[in-house]
Amino acid sequence: MANAQLDCDLAGLIRRSVGIDWRALLLSADASQSRRSLLLGLQLAHELIGEAIPSEFLAAMRADPAVDRLARRVVNAMFRNFGDRAGLSQELIVPLLSIETAPRRIRYLSDRAIWPTLGDWEAMPASLFPLYFLTRPFRLAFAKAKKSRGR
């Protein structure tokens, strides 16, 4: 599926980086507990854009069945109707399942619940910045209630 006009951040980095120390990259991902995320990105670059990935990474992808399941979710979501908003799967499940340990998953969920998003910034003037952290849970609850009423 290689396409000269199609490029993405990871594929572009692979293409432009001469002499990547792949072993050090994998060790760094292991140390930061982000191995699955790295493998997912590499698998998508390999499958969708045709980037050449070293065989040890291809073997690591096959050794973690979650990587392939997550890649399938991402690809399926990419080719959904463009009018469909990314659902819970894309916005929460895929990133959550990319995280390998329970404590880091809990931290991810708490950060998603607390840290302000662009919608929070747009909903209030910048002078009320300290209130963003307090209002975010309420904005999420109201958005969920509004969405469930609309169905």
CA 89 to CA 140: how far, in whole Å? 17
Q: Residue written as tokens 């399942």?
A: 97
Does position 56 have pLDDT exceeding 90, yes or no?
no
Does position 36 have pLDDT exceeding 90, yes or no?
yes
The neighbour count for residue 67, using CB atoms within 10 Å, is 24
Q: Residue written as tokens 């916005």?
A: 91
Does position 7 have pLDDT exceeding 80, yes or no?
no
Does position 68 have pLDDT exceeding 80, yes or no?
yes
Considering only residues 88 and 57, tell me which one the structure prediction assigns the higher pLDDT.
57
Q: Please state the domain extents for the chain.
A: 9-89
CA 36 to CA 41: how far, in whole Å? 9
Average pLDDT over residues 4-11: 54
Does position 82 have pLDDT exceeding 90, yes or no?
no
